[in-house]
Protein backbone atom coordinates (compact mmCIF):
# COMPACT_ATOMS: atom_id res chain seq x y z
CA UNK A 1 0.00 0.00 0.00
CA UNK A 2 1.51 3.34 -1.08
CA UNK A 3 1.87 6.03 1.53
CA UNK A 4 1.26 9.66 0.66
CA UNK A 5 3.79 12.30 1.71
CA UNK A 6 2.16 14.89 3.97
CA UNK A 7 2.16 18.56 3.10
CA UNK A 8 4.80 19.80 5.54
CA UNK A 9 3.74 23.43 5.22
CA UNK A 10 0.22 22.62 6.38
CA UNK A 11 1.53 20.18 8.97
CA UNK A 12 3.83 22.79 10.52
CA UNK A 13 0.97 25.30 10.67
CA UNK A 14 -1.06 22.72 12.59
CA UNK A 15 1.89 22.12 14.95
CA UNK A 16 2.29 25.85 15.57
CA UNK A 17 -1.45 26.22 16.25
CA UNK A 18 -1.31 23.32 18.72
CA UNK A 19 1.48 25.04 20.66
CA UNK A 20 4.51 23.03 19.60
CA UNK A 21 5.55 19.51 18.67
CA UNK A 22 4.83 17.89 22.05
CA UNK A 23 1.39 19.49 22.30
CA UNK A 24 0.61 18.48 18.72
CA UNK A 25 1.66 14.86 19.29
CA UNK A 26 -0.46 14.60 22.43
CA UNK A 27 -3.43 16.15 20.63
CA UNK A 28 -3.13 13.68 17.74
CA UNK A 29 -2.82 10.70 20.06
CA UNK A 30 -6.06 11.71 21.75
CA UNK A 31 -7.91 12.31 18.48
CA UNK A 32 -6.78 9.01 16.96
CA UNK A 33 -7.50 6.98 20.08
CA UNK A 34 -3.90 5.97 20.80
CA UNK A 35 -3.47 7.81 24.10
CA UNK A 36 -3.69 5.25 26.89
CA UNK A 37 -4.72 6.28 30.37
CA UNK A 38 -2.06 5.23 32.85
CA UNK A 39 -3.22 2.71 35.45
CA UNK A 40 -1.76 0.60 38.23
CA UNK A 41 -0.65 -2.59 36.52
CA UNK A 42 -0.41 -4.47 39.81
CA UNK A 43 -4.22 -4.42 40.15
CA UNK A 44 -4.86 -5.90 36.69
CA UNK A 45 -5.61 -9.44 35.68
CA UNK A 46 -3.41 -11.21 33.13
CA UNK A 47 -5.73 -10.44 30.25
CA UNK A 48 -6.12 -6.81 31.33
CA UNK A 49 -2.34 -6.48 31.69
CA UNK A 50 -1.83 -7.96 28.24
CA UNK A 51 -4.28 -5.50 26.66
CA UNK A 52 -2.75 -2.63 28.66
CA UNK A 53 0.77 -3.45 27.42
CA UNK A 54 -0.47 -3.77 23.85
CA UNK A 55 -2.14 -0.35 24.02
CA UNK A 56 1.01 1.22 25.46
CA UNK A 57 3.07 -0.34 22.70
CA UNK A 58 0.68 0.97 20.04
CA UNK A 59 0.77 4.42 21.63
CA UNK A 60 4.58 4.44 21.63
CA UNK A 61 4.73 3.42 17.96
CA UNK A 62 2.24 6.09 16.91
CA UNK A 63 3.98 8.69 19.04
CA UNK A 64 7.30 7.88 17.34
CA UNK A 65 5.71 8.15 13.90
CA UNK A 66 4.08 11.51 14.73
CA UNK A 67 7.34 12.89 16.10
CA UNK A 68 9.20 11.87 12.94
CA UNK A 69 6.61 13.63 10.80
CA UNK A 70 6.74 16.71 13.03
CA UNK A 71 10.54 16.78 12.79
CA UNK A 72 10.37 16.65 8.99
CA UNK A 73 7.84 19.48 9.03
CA UNK A 74 10.13 21.47 11.35
CA UNK A 75 13.10 20.93 9.02
CA UNK A 76 11.06 22.14 6.05
CA UNK A 77 10.47 25.49 7.77
CA UNK A 78 13.67 26.06 9.78
CA UNK A 79 17.44 26.12 9.43
CA UNK A 80 18.82 23.03 11.16
CA UNK A 81 22.24 22.15 9.73
CA UNK A 82 24.71 25.03 9.26
CA UNK A 83 27.74 22.98 8.25
CA UNK A 84 30.05 20.22 9.39
CA UNK A 85 29.50 19.77 13.12
CA UNK A 86 27.27 22.89 13.36
CA UNK A 87 23.57 22.60 14.18
CA UNK A 88 20.99 25.25 15.01
CA UNK A 89 18.50 24.99 17.85
CA UNK A 90 15.67 27.48 18.32
CA UNK A 91 15.42 26.73 22.03
CA UNK A 92 16.85 29.57 24.14
CA UNK A 93 18.77 27.31 26.49
CA UNK A 94 22.46 26.71 27.18
CA UNK A 95 24.21 24.55 24.62
CA UNK A 96 25.15 21.07 25.78
CA UNK A 97 28.78 21.72 24.86
CA UNK A 98 29.00 24.91 26.94
CA UNK A 99 30.87 24.91 30.23
CA UNK A 100 28.89 24.94 33.45
CA UNK A 101 28.16 28.40 34.92
CA UNK A 102 29.78 30.41 32.10
CA UNK A 103 28.94 33.77 33.72
CA UNK A 104 30.72 32.83 36.96
CA UNK A 105 33.78 31.55 35.06
CA UNK A 106 33.92 34.72 32.99
CA UNK A 107 33.77 36.83 36.16
CA UNK A 108 36.55 34.78 37.81
CA UNK A 109 38.78 35.31 34.77
CA UNK A 110 37.89 39.04 34.65
CA UNK A 111 36.46 38.75 31.14
CA UNK A 112 34.12 41.49 29.89
CA UNK A 113 30.45 40.72 29.29
CA UNK A 114 29.86 40.38 25.55
CA UNK A 115 26.16 40.31 24.65
CA UNK A 116 26.27 41.70 21.11
CA UNK A 117 28.68 42.25 18.20
CA UNK A 118 29.34 45.89 19.20
CA UNK A 119 30.63 44.88 22.64
CA UNK A 120 32.86 42.26 21.03
CA UNK A 121 34.16 44.82 18.55
CA UNK A 122 34.89 47.31 21.36
CA UNK A 123 36.75 44.62 23.32
CA UNK A 124 38.90 43.81 20.27
CA UNK A 125 39.29 47.48 19.31
CA UNK A 126 37.66 46.70 15.95
CA UNK A 127 34.61 47.92 14.13
CA UNK A 128 31.40 45.89 14.08
CA UNK A 129 31.83 45.51 10.33
CA UNK A 130 35.24 43.87 10.82
CA UNK A 131 33.85 41.39 13.37
CA UNK A 132 30.90 40.48 11.13
CA UNK A 133 33.21 40.15 8.14
CA UNK A 134 35.47 37.72 10.02
CA UNK A 135 32.48 35.66 11.13
CA UNK A 136 31.10 35.60 7.59
CA UNK A 137 34.41 34.42 6.12
CA UNK A 138 34.81 31.67 8.74
CA UNK A 139 31.24 30.41 8.23
CA UNK A 140 31.63 30.57 4.45
CA UNK A 141 34.72 28.35 4.56
CA UNK A 142 33.66 26.23 7.55
CA UNK A 143 33.12 22.94 5.69
CA UNK A 144 36.64 22.40 4.42
CA UNK A 145 38.83 25.43 5.08
CA UNK A 146 37.89 26.77 8.51
CA UNK A 147 41.44 26.48 9.92
CA UNK A 148 42.86 28.15 6.84
CA UNK A 149 40.29 30.95 7.16
CA UNK A 150 41.12 31.54 10.83
CA UNK A 151 44.86 31.46 10.05
CA UNK A 152 44.53 33.85 7.12
CA UNK A 153 42.45 36.33 9.16
CA UNK A 154 44.93 36.10 12.05
CA UNK A 155 47.82 36.78 9.67
CA UNK A 156 45.90 39.66 8.13
CA UNK A 157 45.36 41.31 11.52
CA UNK A 158 48.98 40.73 12.55
CA UNK A 159 50.27 42.34 9.35
CA UNK A 160 47.78 45.19 9.73
CA UNK A 161 48.82 45.73 13.35
CA UNK A 162 52.51 45.71 12.42
CA UNK A 163 51.89 48.22 9.62
CA UNK A 164 49.96 50.55 11.94
CA UNK A 165 52.71 50.26 14.55
CA UNK A 166 55.35 51.29 11.98
CA UNK A 167 53.21 54.21 10.84
CA UNK A 168 52.79 55.36 14.43
CA UNK A 169 56.53 55.04 15.09
CA UNK A 170 57.31 57.04 11.95
CA UNK A 171 54.93 59.79 12.96
CA UNK A 172 56.31 59.92 16.47
CA UNK A 173 59.83 60.01 15.05
CA UNK A 174 58.93 62.87 12.71
CA UNK A 175 57.45 64.87 15.59
CA UNK A 176 60.55 64.19 17.64
CA UNK A 177 62.81 65.42 14.81
CA UNK A 178 60.80 68.62 14.49
CA UNK A 179 61.15 69.22 18.20
CA UNK A 180 64.91 68.58 17.98
CA UNK A 181 65.22 71.06 15.10
CA UNK A 182 63.38 73.68 17.13
CA UNK A 183 65.71 73.12 20.09
CA UNK A 184 68.77 73.39 17.83
CA UNK A 185 67.53 76.70 16.44
CA UNK A 186 67.00 78.03 19.95
CA UNK A 187 70.52 76.95 20.90
CA UNK A 188 72.00 78.75 17.88
CA UNK A 189 70.04 81.90 18.67
CA UNK A 190 71.26 81.83 22.26
CA UNK A 191 74.87 81.32 21.14
CA UNK A 192 74.65 84.18 18.66
CA UNK A 193 73.39 86.53 21.37
CA UNK A 194 76.06 85.52 23.87
CA UNK A 195 78.87 85.60 21.28
CA UNK A 196 77.99 89.06 19.87
CA UNK A 197 80.50 91.79 21.04
CA UNK A 198 79.18 94.40 23.43
CA UNK A 199 79.66 97.91 21.86
CA UNK A 200 81.80 100.34 23.93
CA UNK A 201 80.43 103.78 24.72
CA UNK A 202 82.53 106.65 23.32
CA UNK A 203 84.51 108.56 25.89
Q: Give this prediction's pTM.
A: 0.44
Phi, psi of 151 (to 5 degrees): -65, -40
- For residues 8 and 78, the answer to whether their CB atoms sit within 8 Å is no
Which three-class secondary structure string do you get for 115-127? CCHHHHHHHCCCC
174: left (phi over 0), alpha (psi -120 to 50) or beta: alpha
- Using one digit for the tens of pLDDT, what is the confidence trace for 47-95? 988 999 999 999 999 999 999 999 999 988 887 776 776 666 666 565 6
Over residues 184-202, the pLDDT tens digits come to 677 776 666 665 555 555 5
Amino acid sequence: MATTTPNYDDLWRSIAQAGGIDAYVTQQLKERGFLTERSDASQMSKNELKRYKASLKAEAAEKLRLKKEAWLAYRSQHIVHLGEGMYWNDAADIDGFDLAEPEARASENELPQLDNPKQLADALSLTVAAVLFCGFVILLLWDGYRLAAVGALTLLFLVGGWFLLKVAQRRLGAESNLFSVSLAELERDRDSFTAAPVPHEPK
